[in-house]
Amino acid sequence: MANLVETIKDLSEHQKQYIVRRVAGLDTSPTRDLIGIARGTYNTWFHNEAFVAVHRQLQDLASKYKLEAIQILRRENQLEAVILEGKMIARMKEEIDTGEYAFVRTNLAREVYSKLISDLDKAPAGIQVLSWQQRIHQIFPDREQGGRIIDAEFEAVDSIEAEHSQGELAQASEAASDEIQE
């Protein structure tokens, strides 16, 4: 037996869920309740030879594969959380489109939104967050990084814009004086 997944591959989906939770350390009754299996259904599983064979090995499986079972449950929980979050976001979008804000105003919706935004705002791994001066130095690598040359360039642009706006102002005043003379 290579791993827990290989050991339980011949079982039904509910039986797999039951065995994984038992191997992870849960007792029988809470495990049945979690997966929604009635006592009668559980009892009929003992007519299945594959289930009985695996069930007899529970202690051995728990000692060998407990960490694997916990990882399987963690992945299932993460997947369910992502699916649930997707449903909540779809609901929020629907409410925004319709203009009815029942769910959007709840604390749960705020938490989902803040988590989503904080995840989107994180810089991906391997990308260096640069300061303003570092970015300027990347754009103008041959310029002095202290900012004097770059500031001078910005001042030149500002003076050109000022001359342009003064020219427009002169034209406007000429047009106004022409109108007055007429």
Length of the chain: 182
Pair 154, 161: CB distance under 8 Å: no
Q: What is the pLDDT of residue 164?
A: 55
Q: How confident is the model at residue 45 (pLDDT cuts 50, 70, 90)?
A: very high
Q: Whole-model pTM?
A: 0.50
Q: How confident is the model at residue 15 (pLDDT cuts 50, 70, 90)?
A: very high
Instruction: Name the DSSP letter for residue 45.
Output: G
Q: How confident is the model at residue 4 (pLDDT cuts 50, 70, 90)?
A: confident
* Residue 159 structure tokens: 């003076």
Q: How far apart are CA 160 and CA 164, in angstroms?
A: 6
Q: What angle do CA 42, 81, 104 make, to 5 degrees?
A: 125
Q: How far apart are CA 136 and CA 139, in angstroms?
A: 5
| Nearest one of 18, 24, 23, 10 to 53, comparing CA atoms | 10
Q: What is the pLDDT of residue 147?
A: 46
Instruction: Name the DSSP letter for residue 102.
Output: S
Q: How confident is the model at residue 44 (pLDDT cuts 50, 70, 90)?
A: very high
| Nearest one of 8, 116, 110 to 69, comparing CA atoms | 8
